[in-house]
A and B are shown apart, each in its own frame.
Chain A
Amino acid sequence: MSDYDALVIGAGHNGLTNAAYLAKAGLNVVVLEKNDYIGGAAVSRELEKGWTYSNCSYVCSMMRQAIHRDLDLGSHGLILVPYLATINFGDGDERLIHYHDEAATHLELKRHSPHDADAMHRFQTDLSRYAMLIRKTLMRTPPDPTSFKPRDLMEFLWLAKQFWKLGEKELYEYVRFFTMSASEFLDDYFENDMIRAAMASPGIIGTALGVQSPGSSYILLHHVMGDVDGSIGAWGLARGGMGAISRAIASAAQGFGAEIRTNAGVRQVLVKDGKACGVALENGDEITANIVVSNLDAKRTFTRIMDKNDLPDGIYEKAKNFKIRGSSGKVNIALSGMPTFTHVPDNKYVNRGGQAFTGSMETMERAYDCWKRGTWSDDPFVESVIPSAWDPTVAPPGKHWMSNFVQYCPPTLADGPWTPEKRDAFGESVISKIERYSPGFRDLIVHMEVRTPHEIENEVGLTEGNIFQGELTIDQLFFNRPFPGYGQYRMPVKNMYMSGSSTHPGGGVSAVCGANSAREILMDLRKPNTVPEDDFYDE
């Protein structure tokens, strides 16, 4: 007799979602979290009194509405607020503002390039078409291409039908799109370098690719296929920070009877007769369960908390070579006031959006070159947002905090391991970059949290600090995610499953991986499915 029907390793938002749906089906579920707080990379913590950072992930768009609605996360305190605008900062004094209003944005683009202002319509149309197709696959389990099971064949037929609807010409374009670089993709549309840089930046966020690297165009799509209240490509913030998402899901899970244990790091998954049967905790305790779900990334799961001898041949090697390269840093800064930026109007709506220090295509590629050489750039690409500009709960009135996502930051340095001094020097590169556009910025700083891949790996548990739990390149997507043959959430050891972003559809605070995984588990247990279908098929 096991202690639990199911056990989930890691209280990230996907693990919590998985537990919520298993508990909703009546299973006795426990979630084990190594930290003394939950949330994984969807977490909000008060490190300086009065300021609540979203320490890792910072904006939200991928969160599936169907799950939000089905778990009634609103009643558990979650509210997602779309943000209004984005300012792109050029290398010099040029600025490009994406206003909330489409017509205003068109005029702004026209100021830079009348050609590109028009091309933007075509670009958005094509991207929406791609996004709509991929959105339909999110809450479905990828079919196994080598299987002749009716379910897999039916799923392939369904997929073929979706692709067929694109039309022949677009079908070719779509296939081409997956292998292109963001730069090549954008060449089809834009002539202005600043606009190209602005549009290319989602193609490199979180990935160890550059704007010129093949595959970065898909990353671009991955970042625009979400939505806020049906507005595809829109981004929002969670009131109270990203941790509010994890807290709401945890509260829903607990409402269904799931148990959540913090300070319960898992040392080893226990396997008996080829079946997962529980875990040994770092403190020596053993917990048994009929189902073991790992919400950790694939590399960590199979190389850190599992015994190589418990795995079928080749899995350890696959996991070891799983592409999960750290590429990003995060600098969270508490500010005593609202920073002002040069050559940007004092427009409070624009200030309630994001700042993207994109510079030019060249700047971004140079920053990538530094990463390849094992160092950070003194002119990094920084994507920022000031959540306190509209979230009254995350900073004292009149005070602010700025989330800065930095691309690139290497997981290991050419000149030896990360040290606190090197970490601070990396943080300094970000401050001086912002200071260039916001004189006096430095004087506003009250507190700072600098996170390199080293900190992200050690605190959050993401291998190399890779925010997606594994690169989103085509060799690691869909039925290939995390490994070919294991794209359906079931792992090589019986009774073991994965629920994190290492599985389809990949990184982002979407809650989809956890929900899809729960659906597969319930199917294997012959329990009624508690996971909703996606709600947006008629969009």
Chain B
Amino acid sequence: MNTDPRFAGERPKPSPFYPRQKELNIREAWSIWNGYKFADYYYDAEYEYFCIRNLCGTYDITPMQKYEIQGRDAEAMLNRMVTRDVTKIGLNRVAYCLWCTDDGRMIDDGTIFKLADDRFMLTCGSSCIAWLEMSAFGFDDVTVTDITDDLAALSLQGPTSFATLKRMGLEGIEAARPFDIMFFPFHGETLMVSRTGFTGDLGYELWIPPALALDLWDELYAAGEDYGIQPYGEAATNMARLEAGFIMPAMEFNEALRTVNFEHDQTPFELNLGWLVDFKKPHFSGRAALLNEKQRGSRYTLTKLDIEGNRPAEGAWIYTNKRCTKHIGYVTSAMWSPAVKANIALAMIETKHLDGELWAEIYYEKELRHYGRVAKCIKKDKPFWTHARARQTPPADY
């Protein structure tokens, strides 16, 4: 890494895992996430994607924002902030949540870890300390601490992830159900393991104090050697999450607090996340607006599409007919899925046109010449890719 002190203020900071990552990032393919130097891929995006589906891989989630929310009112405060009923989260369980402005526009999504009755961890893609503090206003006993830099984290995903952890000596890990949290002694500290992930596959997330990050890495990689362990980056994550039908910030949704243009942000209903909105619980941010939206219907709906042909519909517009006379939506993410062998996409489509024909206008390039193709789209209700192993407890070895 370049060390010229004059540019120190502009340089991305290394993750606690960086000393190992830099050896493995053969292609020097780096980008930045929340100020951390962060791999796009290490060897080859497609190979790393296949590690997620065939072997196992690690993804550095240290740059994810992590907040500790503590105190007698912690639960009430979170319950007031997010749309899901936090009181229903069991001890040592994780729940996927999202939170909105008073207008019901989505600020961000993330996970809430219930670590004690009065202690929670919230993780999310981008910094939200200001919103958390604002949400804590009026609650007597709650403190919010940014622990992003105090907790290194590694996501271990793929069919051999369980076998790897077992070989690493995590006794009892076989009992972890999806969204369970477990604790293991590790070099005098505690290794927290949650059966969570962002790939739709069998997988875990490992949380450790940064001082022990390299020890964790080394033990994990020693255990995973025979199970094909491989670090993967943003590119492979993006492929796996799209197959699983998961949304990505700045792809499927524009964070409400960073949206300049009127309603260029999204609502949970538009993002097909209505199941995360619980109107039975007491008041929460955005409740009235969301209730109103639920009753009158959403303008857009995020829709899973299986598109004919093999050209990814990146940035494509969606129409009601092949002649492309009536524009009704746009593709947010698209790819050729190697596992499903289909041309898949997520698209924001005007709800009232969802039951009619859907056509995507796709542009692609072939040896510097541009071509267009209008392709028929088929709506999908289920995730493009699922596997029983993601839900089995105890999981199989591969």
Contacts and interface: CB of A to CB of B under 8 A. Distances in A.
A433 to B, nearest CB: 27
B55 A538 contact: no
Interface string A498-539: 000000000000000000000000000000000000011011
Given A69-B342, A74-B339, A535-B309, A397 B227 contact: yes
Interface residues of A, number: 27
A74 B340 contact: yes
A538 B50 contact: no
Interface string A374-411: 00000000000000001111000110000000000000
A460 interface: no
B228 A538 contact: no
Contacts, number: 67
B338 A229 contact: yes
B84 interface: no
> Which of the listed residues A79, A392, A538 has the most CB atoms from chain B within 10 Å of its own CB?
A392
B228 A390 contact: yes
Given A69-B341, A74-B385, A81-B50, A390 B55 contact: yes
B50 A82 contact: yes
A445 interface: no
A101 B226 CA distance: 24
Nearest to B56: A392
Q: Is the interface of B mostly helix, strand, loop or mixed?
A: loop
A65 interface: yes
A509 to B, nearest CB: 15
Interface string B139-159: 000000000000000000001
B238 interface: no
Interface in A36-84: 65, 68-69, 73-74, 79-82, 84
A100 interface: yes
B50 to A, nearest CB: 5
A397 B50 contact: no
A100 B44 contact: yes
A426 to B, nearest CB: 32
A397 B162 CA distance: 13
Nearest to A73: B341
A392 B398 contact: yes
Contact of B310 (A230, A239, A390): A230
Interface in B189-203: none
Nearest to A389: B228
B309 A392 contact: no
Contacts of B373: 538
Nearest to A394: B398
Nearest to B225: A398
A97 to B, nearest CB: 14
B311 interface: yes
Interface residues of B, number: 31
Interface in A133-175: none
A79 B49 CA distance: 12
Interface in A415-433: none
A319 to B, nearest CB: 36
Nearest to A79: B339
Interface in A217-236: 228-230
B54 A392 contact: yes
Nearest to A535: B310
A84 B54 CA distance: 14
Of A79, A80, A101, which is in contact with the most chain B CB atoms at under 10 Å from its CB?
Answer: A79
A114 B193 CA distance: 52
Given A393-B398, A397-B163, A230 B336 contact: yes
Nearest to A229: B338
A228 B397 CA distance: 27
Contacts of A397: 163, 167, 226-227
A349 B230 CA distance: 10
Contacts of A229: 46, 336, 338, 341
B65 interface: no
A377 to B, nearest CB: 35
Contact of A538 (B227, B309, B397): B309
B367 to A, nearest CB: 10
A100 B341 contact: no
Contacts of B137: none
Nearest to B160: A392
Contacts of A80: 338
Contacts of B50: 81-82
Contacts of B47: 82, 84, 100, 349
Contact of A239 (B44, B46, B54, B227): B54
B224 to A, nearest CB: 10
B21 to A, nearest CB: 16
B311 to A, nearest CB: 7
Nearest to B384: A74
A536 B339 contact: no
B54 A391 contact: yes
Given A74-B341, A81-B54, A65 B398 contact: no
Contacts of A239: 54
Given A74-B341, A81-B50, A101-B44, A538 B398 contact: no
A230 B338 CA distance: 10
Contacts of A539: 310
B44 A392 contact: no
A32 to B, nearest CB: 29
Contacts of B311: 538
A349 B227 CA distance: 14
Nearest to A75: B340
B275 interface: no
A98 to B, nearest CB: 14
Contacts of B7: none
Nearest to A347: B26
A73 B338 CA distance: 12
B339 A392 contact: no
B262 interface: no
Contacts of A393: 398
Contacts of A84: 44, 47
A535 B27 CA distance: 33
Interface string A75-103: 00001111010000000000000001100
B88 to A, nearest CB: 32
B55 A392 contact: yes
B44 to A, nearest CB: 6
A398 B371 CA distance: 48
Contacts of B80: none
Give the 7 A-B CB pairs with smallest separation, nearest first: A397-B226, A392-B398, A69-B341, A398-B226, A68-B341, A229-B338, A81-B50
Interface of B: 27, 43-44, 46-47, 50, 53-55, 159-160, 163, 167, 226-228, 308-311, 336, 338-342, 371, 373, 385, 397-398
Interface of A: 65, 68-69, 73-74, 79-82, 84, 100-101, 228-230, 239, 349, 390-393, 397-398, 535-536, 538-539
16 contacts: A65-B341, A81-B50, A82-B47, A84-B47, A100-B43, A100-B44, A101-B44, A349-B43, A349-B47, A392-B54, A393-B398, A535-B309, A535-B310, A538-B311, A538-B373, A539-B310
